[in-house]
Amino acid sequence: MDNLAHSLVGLTSAKAGLDRLSPYATTVCVISANVADADFVSLLGDRWSLLQYHRGITHSIAGTIAIGLLIPALAYAIERIGSSIRKRAPRIRFRGLLLASMVAAATHPVMDWTNNYGVRPLLPWSGRWFYGDLVFIVDPYIWLTLGALAFLMTSNSRRKLFGWSFIGLIATLVVGAASRQNGPEAGAVRTAFVVWIIGLISIIGLRFFGVQRKVGQRTALTALALLMIYWVALGFVHRAAAADTLLIANRIAAPHNERVIRAATMPSQANPFRWQSVAETDAAIYKFEVSVVNDSVDIDNSSVARFEKPAGQEAQLVSVAEQDRRAQALLGFARFPLARVNTDNCVGQALVQFADLRYTEPGRGRGTFSVNIPVDCPNR
């Protein structure tokens, strides 16, 4: 998930009672809920370093425990030094701060698991990826639900009110920009934007009438409960969509005499009723969409994208290209990796295009989720 969502979960968790465990607990909760993304320092290398290390050890069980211990320890040390300089007794209650930090740190990999990017919780012992496939990487409904509560509970000064206004403006621009896109999800994103504007107006009205003086720990717990209910509801919808995905995948594969090996049903932007599906067979990978509001599981073949796996000489060229560091980084991350070989009877060099079909196709772009590797032909 994005860091705004992580911050809102950390802040809401603090206001749900963790802030009573020790002074500075709210600050520690927000930091601990975000610090797993410190693996973005891999950007100091290149985009392939980011792909290799992001959602790595800091998102694992071991990393979460380390973060949960490190942040309160640093806060305690800083506060001790400050108290010594000011010649006053330390205020931090370390055990309380430690508990708050552990809870907040644990929310990060849990939230990241809910989308289709995946996490590797068993590192460094196992690099296996786990995917929740419930929520799109950015969800405006989570922002709105948790943000409304956090705003009402913490906008108690002009400085904080200004800060929340700035965050609200940026978030509105992001959701508004997304609503201007074209494509199958355009209608759902525009609906989300309308809901967003209505929600913002309602929140401003509630604060104007002083409702913020009546919200407290129970309200924060209610917001977290709503988040859990949202996930559970999406889980039921996802289960239905996954069943349709498998049925459609078998129907598509049958005419080609192929066997379905695995399939995934992944969330689309701001639309819990439309899902992106990818199915792999022994000879190809298919992409199509599933709608749970449609009782029929029939699908138009023109809306199915079929990608054949390389075979013969092409498979040999792919095997050579896989030794490239960039390809290894992409293949270590990719859930549905696919290679396409562009060659003219393999005279001179061939271009092997890799991509993770969750996000793009071979040759369509040269972003983080695809790479082109030139290789020499065997006859050179």
Tens of pLDDT, residues 118-163: 999 999 999 999 999 999 999 999 999 999 999 988 888 889 899 9
Q: Categorize the per-residue pLDDT at 20 as very low, low, confident or very high, splitting at 50, 70 and 90.
A: very high
For 362-375, the pLDDT digits (tens) are 877 656 789 999 88
Contact between residue 26 and residue 19 where contact means Cβ atoms under 8 Å apart: yes
Residue 89 has pLDDT above 80, yes or no: no
Tell me what pLDDT residue 11 has. Answer: 95
Tell me what pLDDT residue 155 has. Answer: 85
Tell me what pLDDT residue 295 has. Answer: 61
Q: Order of strands, edge to edge, in the sheet holding 260-268?
A: 260-268, 271-281, 284-291, 305-308
Tell me what pLDDT residue 205 has. Answer: 92
- Helical pair 186-208 and 140-154, crossing angle rounded to 10 deg: 10
Q: Which amino acid is present at 340?
A: R
- What is the rounded radius of gyration, in angstroms, for the C-alpha atoms of the chain? 24
For 176-209, the pLDDT digits (tens) are 988 887 776 778 888 999 999 999 999 999 888 8
Q: Categorize the per-residue pLDDT at 296 as very low, low, confident or very high, splitting at 50, 70 and 90.
A: low
Tell me what pLDDT residue 16 has. Answer: 93
Q: Which amino acid is present at 265?
A: T
Cα 284 from Cα 83, distance rounded (Å): 65
Query: Residue ranges of the domains in the chain?
Result: 1-124, 235-307, 310-376
Cα 56 from Cα 269, distance rounded (Å): 25
